[in-house]
Amino acid sequence: MKRVLVAILLVACGPKVPRDAPAPWETSGIDWTKPPLLDTPLPLSPPAAEHADLDNGIHIVVVRNARLPIVSISAVLEGVGSREDRDQPGLAALTAELIHEEARDLADVRIATDTMTIQFVGESRLAETFVGRLGTMLRHPRIGEGDTARLRGIKRAEVYERAQRPRTIAAQTFDRVVFGAHPYATPADGTAESIGWLFTRDLRTFWERRYAIAPLTLIFAGDITLADARRYAQAALGEWEHRAAPFPAPPLPAYTPQLAFVDIPDAAQSIVLIGTRAAAAGDPQQLAGDVASAILGGGIGARLDRKLHEELALTIGASASFWRGRWAGSWAAATTFATDKTVPGVRAALDVIAGASTITADELARAKRDLLAAVQESFETNLGTVRAIERIVAQDLSSDWYETYAARLDALTLAEVQDAARWRDLSVVIVGDWAKLGGQLGELGLPIVQYDRDGTQRP
């Protein structure tokens, strides 16, 4: 035994080379000028999902992965998102905050336009506790005067602070331009003023009327079986008189391209969004659009970044992406220019977007590869898996969206992606110094409309 240990130690120490001698490359027997060939890529294999329904219509999805004793749980409620605020912006978000009070130590609550999600992450031995707490949150929220006043104050302060940020102003103005009077134009959290007019009775009424008819999907990923998930859900929510009802889509007002300007006197830089209204989630051209957008503005090395940052040094970065809702969507390129470079920067960005349909086969192949890798990676964690399924629910995508993703991506032709890259009816939103820029904007050829910081159109 001793001899074996000595032998191991000798080999482990090995013959060392002198301190400053170069590496003896010739002894390696490897060609260091030529990297090895790649293996055959593995096919995208999304994890299998099991489904069940409670008698009251609550849908359960379970993706089992027992490699670690943890679980991620997400409850997705449709129809209680910020689009339901109508005349009371911020109502859905503040109601969600009150509901969050039941489990602030355990859960995350997110309000989005079309949905509200409640998420638990933890050891799988706590799964029953999590679902039990979820039941209390949804069925017996404490919507009382004291909590409402406290949370209203906190929310107002947060929203007020956020609304001073030029990026938030630009995003909210863009939504106003693209969606007009549609609920999608309303900031998800409301405004500091609108929140001030929300009272306990409003929140209680919203909860009573909306939550009991909101389609609810419970998503579990991790170390849990469908039988356990169903049992926990039945105990916590099975008796809830819950009957999901459809939410009719409001009409979309006409969209007219414009140059929207929000004045920030003496701003050293301008926040710029260039974009347009897009199709709702699930559009047949969605994947082609995603590929085209990734090629144009998918981050470092994409066309916008290459031109505006690397070649022209007009900005430190530019990107583009879609936002997709149930009823409509939008697409926007976002960047920042120093005030004196704003107009040439916008012109250069518009030129890049106008030339986007010249996508090459090489760019297409790279974008397909990157999108596939991103989807593959999203299934490597429970939380990533839950979020992927949340997307299917929130955007009402086909249930085999990920199973067929690789084949649909592979089938996309260059012509289809080039066609998707022809963005039309572009609006430009600039948040910057009107005194320095106002006189130069006419050359961009769009009708100029000025907005206040809160998104109100100036007369």
Partner 1 sequence: MRALRAIATFILIAGFGPDARVERLPAEQYALGNGLVVILAPDASVGSVAVHVRFDADQGPKLEPQLAAGSLHVTDFAARIDAVGGWATTLASDDYLGMTEHVPAHALGLALWLEAERMAGLADAIEDSALRRLARERIAPNHATLVIAGRFDTARTRELVRRYFGWIPPRDGAAKPHKAGRFDPALAIAGEVLAARLTGDVRIEITPDRDMIARPVDGRDPAQMKDALERELRALRTQPPTPDEITRARDRVITRFYLALEHLSIRAELLASWAASERDGALVVRWPELLASVKRDDVLAAAASVRP
- Catalog residues that contact partner 1 under the rule CB under 8 A: 8, 11-25, 27-30, 32-33, 35-42, 44-45, 47, 65-70, 105, 121-126, 223, 301, 366, 369-370, 372-373, 376-377, 379-383
Q: Are 92 and 82 in contact (CB under 8 A)?
A: yes
CA distances from 391 to 114, 187, 420 (A): 11, 20, 22
Query: Measured from the CB atom, is 23 or 361 closer to partner 1?
Result: 23
The DSSP annotation for 34-49 comes to SPPPP-PPPPP-PPP-
Shortest distance, position 143 Cβ to partner 1, whole Å: 23
DSSP code for 82: G
> How far is it, in rounded angstroms, from Cα 385 to Cα 80?
23
Shortest distance, position 76 Cβ to partner 1, whole Å: 21
Query: Measured from the CB atom, is 122 or 317 closer to partner 1?
Result: 122
Q: Are 356 and 422 in contact (CB under 8 A)?
A: yes
Shortest distance, position 181 Cβ to partner 1, whole Å: 33
Shortest distance, position 385 Cβ to partner 1, whole Å: 10
Query: Measured from the CB atom, is 305 or 433 closer to partner 1?
Result: 305
Query: Measured from the CB atom, is 28 or 87 closer to partner 1?
Result: 28
Query: Measured from the CB atom, is 91 or 192 closer to partner 1?
Result: 192
> How far is it, in rounded angstroms, from Cα 396 to Cα 325?
9
Query: Measured from the CB atom, is 39 or 87 closer to partner 1?
Result: 39
3-state class (DSSP) for residue 250: coil
Could you tell me where the DSSP H helices lie in 302-360? 303-305, 342-354
Backbone angles phi, psi at 341, to 5 degrees: -105, 5
Shortest distance, position 180 Cβ to partner 1, whole Å: 33
Shortest distance, position 23 Cβ to partner 1, whole Å: 4
Query: Measured from the CB atom, is 341 or 368 closer to partner 1?
Result: 368
Shortest distance, position 9 Cβ to partner 1, whole Å: 10
> How far is it, in rounded angstroms, from Cα 309 to Cα 427?
22
Contacts of 369-372 with CB under 8 Å at 24 or more apart are: 370/294, 370/298, 371/290, 371/291, 371/294, 371/409, 372/44, 372/405, 372/406, 372/409
